[in-house]
Chain A
Amino acid sequence: MISLEWVKDYIDIRDQDLEELAVKVTQAGINVEKVISNEIKNLIIGQVLSCVDHPDSDHLHVCSVDVGEGKILQIVCGAPNVREGLKVIVALPGAILPGNIEIKKSKIRGVESNGMLCALFELGLEEKNDLNYAKGICELDDSTTIGGDPLTELGFGDTLYELDVHKHRNNDCYYHIGFAYEIAAILNRKVHLPDTSYQEIKDSITNHFQLKVETDKCPYYLAKMVTDVQIGESPNFIKRRLTAADMRPINNVVDISNYVMLEFGQPLHFFDKDKLGDQIVVRDAIEKEQIVTLDGKMRQLRSSDIVITDSSKPVCIAGVMGGENTEVSEDTHTILIESAIFDAVRIRYTAANLELKSEASIRYGKGLSYEYTKMAMDRACHLLEKYAHAKVLTGIVCHDKIDKKPKIVSFVPEEVNKILGITIDEEDMKTELARLDFSYTLKDGVFEVSIPNRRLDIDPNVNDIAEEIGRLYGYHNLVSTLPVVPLRRGKYVGDVAYRKALSKRMRLLRLNEVKTYTLVSPELASQFQYRNRKNVILPNPMSSDKSIVRTTLLPSLLQVYQYNKARKVEDILLYEISKTYDQTYHEESLISGLLYGNYLTDGWNKSLKVDFYVAKGIVEDIFNYMGFANRYHFQVLNDSSFHPGMSAKVFLDHEEVGVVGRIHPKICKDEVYVFELSLNSLMKKTTQLKFKEANKYPGMEKDMAFIVSRDTLAGEIISTIQKTGGKILDHVSVFDVYTGENVPIDKKSIAFKLYFSDPKKTLTEEEVMKIFYQIVDRVEKNYHAVLRDK
């Protein structure tokens, strides 16, 4: 939150429309989320002309109030301090006060009242407390103008910017002087720093105090001493500005440390010197060391924390919060001011470990500029001298190991132009750098720029300079061009190409694509462990239902199935292609499908219901589509996740590449079929696609049926037939499988259709029958089969 009334102390923006300025600030990269004005309409300065007791009340008064332009209003007021001649703040009918209180014409115990005389707390300008209550209405200075705007005359009128700043700028844009520099760059104006002067008394801090820094995580530590402090109330402007920044005014001394922090971004810590003793040692904390912080809580420290100690005990958690034992109180007489820089990462860790986010730790965590460490301390001395009657001791105690080497960038304007795609010349560049308050030298067209330390976000390279120039130039002013690069069409690279091709194919085969979560629960991860791939288990999961990196997609598909089933979707055909990882981080892409209900249906007459053979057909199509025809086969699968009689292992070139089958009824009692193939194993060399001419010579069809035992696999008989049939057997298919009448109970009959042909001649009956009987003979022997008569 930035108060523009405050910013006006450092830069002249009286001519600016603050709404428009907010737009400019946003365009330059600091996002003003909200512009908040504390303006209240229908407030006016009035003077009480007469004041008499209310006829029907022991504390109300009936006043007639002059509000200018000859208008006199009758207003009933209950404040104890209302009296004739007093200048007051009048809320006219129509005014809306904080808390959404609307002022209306009304009758108060029978007497007409045309407004309200206000106290500051009723306008949201002071805290609501007993003390302010007792003060009654606000008594305006006699010099104020009747009919004028009271907030302006009191200096209370303010506009606040609520900022949403990207991380890199949230150090310098969250204090008022830093923000003033930003506005200065946008408007091309100058910043005036506040007064940091003070008188020093003869006594020197070195007579009272010694500093030892024993950690390298505190590169800069300054201390100054003030004495004879008189604790009291802060002046109005400090209280009001702290209130606007959502900080509660406490007393002049504490308020000054906060005020300076909001000015310079530098957190200060004030120790009660009398409680502190005469030494400070800054060191890494000892493991389990304890301190009670200002909020009254006992904190246990870790060795990664930095502590401020007197010679024996911790008195402050550096950069985070002070200790109760050295806190400034009503009786404080002498103060030691600390202004320091601590390692930002350490402070962030400490604040996170202790779950202690303080105004100081937030600022330290973002990193601080050394530019203001001393200036902020001097400013505090100035304000303490002025508003707490403090006497400042001579000298400072100091530990200074901070790197003050300036960040320098050398470049020619053309480099900046190339990055932005704009054209600014040497003169423009000078102007731009001056706006930014970046000092530079120019020699032979080369700029050498020194970046002010307050801009911690800027790295010394030309891209960072280009960004600064660009945002002030206005990105909305950039033209659109296209890169000058050779024409070509891009391609899907590596496994992406396979994924895309198969995805398209799955959709053609009527399967719907799903996308599910990689992280699953232990219950889900334990399903379908048919390959025993060991899971990666997250050491710090958000919740146990997302704690394991899956090795199979099937449980997730089953979840999508259940989701849809519960919503009365009848036919569910799903696929997903996704990466999986095992414990060794080995990556495997899987293509998985789930089928339930009808594969094809009109809903009222005919349908093709999903069964094992539909699922198998899809798997086979994948292989054929990839160019692997005749290179795959299936074997019976025995796995606890699958129906023991309706599932198969899938082989490609004799390598096991996946499974297909019905889910075991103990996992899902519905008839649900799934398949899962390793995409890695499918990324094999495929053969070139070539035309194959159909056979011109007529072929010959022969049927044969065998009675075999029930557990004989048709696929095995087929491969025997193919092997025996040799070259002239064009293809073989199954056209009937029969059990029942005329077939013994433990047997089945399988009928095959064989098609013989020769691309070079017409086959004779004799040639074909010779092979035919060789096949019958071989099948009968291999499978104890019996040829059935026609």
Chain B
Amino acid sequence: MKNEKIEQVANQLKKDQKKIDHLRDLENLKVKYLGKKGLITELNSEIKNVSNENKKEFGMAVNELRNSFHQFYEEKKNFFEEAILSEKLAQDAIDISLPAVCVSAGAPNILEKLIEEVEEVFLSMGYDVVDGPEIEQDKYNFEMLNIPKGHPARDAQDTFYIEGEEILLRSQTSPVQVRTMLEGKGEVPIRMICPGKTYRRDDDDATHSHQFMQIEGLLVDKNISLSDLKGTIDVVVKRLFGNDVETRFRPSYYQFTEPSVEVDISCFNCKGKGCSICKKTGWITIAGAGIVHPNVLRMSGYDPEKWSGFAFGFGAERMAMLKYDISDLRVFYHTDLREAKIFDREEGLS
């Protein structure tokens, strides 16, 4: 048996529901049906007019109607609240294409970037990174490196003297090697590199500078050969210039090494075919090196009968110019931030 009153309210509700299109209407609807004098509320008072046998059924029908109203109300309310939030968020929208706050870190000096990469390779092979004074004594800069006073090798390193022929701005970082050996007192093996500033009387231009950086290194131990030097340099250049780069030694001459070699690498740019970087030769000279001269070992307290070693020297500017394709070395000392900024990044992590 259908109760007419309930049917009536249910039908009325169906019609009213269709008209709701705002949260406010929904709230009014709630009052209209579930308020104190709401249509559904009032159905409850109708129950007294229902016969006893139908009372239960009537009650259930009213409850059902109330529940369906609640369900409708919650759904509709959620819908309207979502819509309001969306509208508000839409209003908050910003132009995500506008520039960000620049929070980037500062950049290393380009030369220093190169030097740090070289240092990392050598640190990993057990070399300490050492430095020494830039105002040096003649005896460390020349004499103990087998370059006595009056030796023609001094002419090539046109030196800034400060006090007679005794005090000078170091013309090479080799005196740091001498000092390290003296500290070793002829007793401990040595593995060190000494990147640092050096000074020579050169006019500054695209490829010369009165101040420049050398990365020299020294290994003193037992039974060290020229082949060991080649292998060591090979590790370094492969790390810096790529795994397919080859190392080649050519005979050369330095006072403090014997035998001495010049180190070439196969051109990383043209892979040996010949290009402007390697001047069409397929090879690029990258360092000077050799077996430490017995006189140098002896003067620094290492007995050449027991000890041997190798030494090498890279020009930091030249390496950086090659690696980063820079044609004028003054770039390193002017620091144009527009150029320098990009060097704050990693390279070749894999």
B124's partner among A489, A509, A600 (CB-CB below 8 A) is A489
Q: What's the Cα separation between A168 and B258 when bound, in Å?
A: 12
A786 smallest CB distance to B (angstroms): 41
Task: Write out, one digit per residue, whether chain B residues 204-228 have a CB within 8 A of any chain A CB (1) or not (0).
Answer: 0000001100000001010111111
- CB neighbours of B232 from chain A (8 A): 482-483
B108 contacts A by Cβ under 8 Å: yes
B105 contacts A by Cβ under 8 Å: yes
Given that A29-B251, A560-B334 are known contacts, is A512 also in contact with B107, CB under 8 Å in the complex? yes
- CB neighbours of A540 from chain B (8 A): 160-161
A492 smallest CB distance to B (angstroms): 5
Q: Is A166 touching B226 in the complex (CB atoms < 8 A)? A: no
Task: Write out, one digit per residue, whether chain A residues 468-493 have a CB within 8 A of any chain B CB (1) or not (0).
Answer: 00110001101111111111111111
- CB neighbours of B152 from chain A (8 A): 167, 344, 348, 365-366
Interface residues of B in 273-295 (CB under 8 A from A): 291, 293-295
- CB neighbours of A567 from chain B (8 A): 336, 338
B150's partner among A345, A475, A480 (CB-CB below 8 A) is A345
B335's partner among A485, A507, A563 (CB-CB below 8 A) is A563
B123 contacts A by Cβ under 8 Å: yes
Q: Is A542 touching B203 in the complex (CB atoms < 8 A)? A: yes
Q: Is B128 touching A493 in the complex (CB atoms < 8 A)? A: yes
Stretch of B6-14, B27-35, B42-50, B242-250 at the chain-chain interface: B242-250
B59 contacts A by Cβ under 8 Å: no
B69 contacts A by Cβ under 8 Å: no
Q: What's the Cα separation between A227 and B134 when bound, in Å?
A: 62
Q: What's the Cα separation between A575 and B210 when bound, in Å?
A: 22
A220 smallest CB distance to B (angstroms): 19
Q: What's the Cα separation between A263 and B167 when bound, in Å?
A: 42
A617 smallest CB distance to B (angstroms): 15
B104 contacts A by Cβ under 8 Å: yes
A564 contacts B by Cβ under 8 Å: yes
Q: Is A517 touching B333 in the complex (CB atoms < 8 A)? A: yes
B278 smallest CB distance to A (angstroms): 15
Q: Is A475 touching B251 in the complex (CB atoms < 8 A)? A: yes
Q: Is A29 touching B101 in the complex (CB atoms < 8 A)? A: no
Q: Is A489 touching B126 in the complex (CB atoms < 8 A)? A: yes
- CB neighbours of A483 from chain B (8 A): 219, 221, 224, 228, 231-232
Q: Looking at B104, B126, B336, which has the most chain A CB atoms within 10 Å of its CB?
A: B126
Q: What's the Cα separation between A426 and B108 when bound, in Å?
A: 55
Q: Is A467 touching B251 in the complex (CB atoms < 8 A)? A: yes
A144 contacts B by Cβ under 8 Å: no
B308 contacts A by Cβ under 8 Å: yes
A429 smallest CB distance to B (angstroms): 16
Q: Is A496 touching B338 in the complex (CB atoms < 8 A)? A: no
- CB neighbours of B335 from chain A (8 A): 512, 514-516, 560, 563-564, 574
B184 contacts A by Cβ under 8 Å: no
Given that A166-B252, A482-B228, A512-B335 are known contacts, is A600 also in contact with B102, CB under 8 Å in the complex? yes
Minimum CB distance partner of A492 in chain B: B129
A512's partner among B122, B211, B337 (CB-CB below 8 A) is B337
A518 contacts B by Cβ under 8 Å: yes
Interface residues of A in 505-525 (CB under 8 A from B): 506-519
Q: Is B134 touching A489 in the complex (CB atoms < 8 A)? A: no
Q: Is B334 touching A419 in the complex (CB atoms < 8 A)? A: no
Stretch of A39-47, A579-587, A695-703 at the chain-chain interface: A579-587
B348 contacts A by Cβ under 8 Å: no
Given that A490-B122, A492-B128 are known contacts, is A481 also in contact with B106, CB under 8 Å in the complex? no
Given that A366-B152, A491-B123 are known contacts, is A496 also in contact with B259, CB under 8 Å in the complex? no
Q: Is A538 touching B336 in the complex (CB atoms < 8 A)? A: no
The range of chain B's interface size is 35 or more
- CB neighbours of B234 from chain A (8 A): 480
A708 smallest CB distance to B (angstroms): 36
Q: What's the Cα separation between A759 and B134 when bound, in Å?
A: 52
Given that A166-B253, A519-B199 are known contacts, is A587 also in contact with B227, CB under 8 Å in the complex? no
Q: Is B231 touching A513 in the complex (CB atoms < 8 A)? A: no
Task: Write out, one digit per residue, whether chain A residues 566-579 have a CB within 8 A of any chain B CB (1) or not (0).
Answer: 01010011110001
Q: Is A581 touching B135 in the complex (CB atoms < 8 A)? A: yes
Q: Looking at B106, B131, B253, B334, which has the most chain A CB atoms within 10 Å of its CB?
A: B106
B126's partner among A466, A490, A507 (CB-CB below 8 A) is A490
- CB neighbours of A587 from chain B (8 A): 133-135
Given that A167-B152, A518-B197 are known contacts, is A581 also in contact with B227, CB under 8 Å in the complex? no
- CB neighbours of A546 from chain B (8 A): 210
A503 contacts B by Cβ under 8 Å: yes
Q: What's the Cα separation between A467 and B254 when bound, in Å?
A: 12
A305 smallest CB distance to B (angstroms): 15
B101's partner among A492, A539, A602 (CB-CB below 8 A) is A602
B84 contacts A by Cβ under 8 Å: no
Given that A421-B226, A492-B129, A515-B332 are known contacts, is A572 also in contact with B337, CB under 8 Å in the complex? yes
B173 contacts A by Cβ under 8 Å: no
Q: What's the Cα separation between A493 and B131 when bound, in Å?
A: 8
Interface residues of A in 143-188 (CB under 8 A from B): 166-169
B98 contacts A by Cβ under 8 Å: yes
B93 contacts A by Cβ under 8 Å: no
User: Can you give 15 contacting A-B residue pairs, CB < 8 Å?
Assistant: A420-B259, A470-B226, A471-B251, A478-B226, A481-B228, A492-B123, A492-B129, A493-B130, A509-B105, A511-B106, A512-B106, A518-B199, A540-B161, A563-B334, A602-B102
Interface contacts beyond A486-B126, A493-B130, A538-B161: sample of 15 additional A-B pairs, CB < 8 Å, sorted by A: A167-B153, A418-B223, A461-B258, A463-B259, A478-B249, A482-B232, A485-B189, A487-B126, A490-B124, A508-B106, A515-B112, A515-B332, A519-B199, A605-B98, A606-B101
- Lowest 8 CB-CB distances: which A-B pairs, in order? A421-B227, A29-B251, A421-B225, A467-B259, A475-B249, A480-B231, A166-B253, A463-B258
On A, residues with C-beta under 8 Å from B are 26-29, 166-169, 344-345, 348, 365-366, 418-422, 457, 459, 461-464, 466-467, 470-471, 475-476, 478-496, 500, 503, 506-519, 536, 538-542, 546, 549, 560, 563-564, 567, 569, 572-575, 579, 581, 585, 587, 600-606
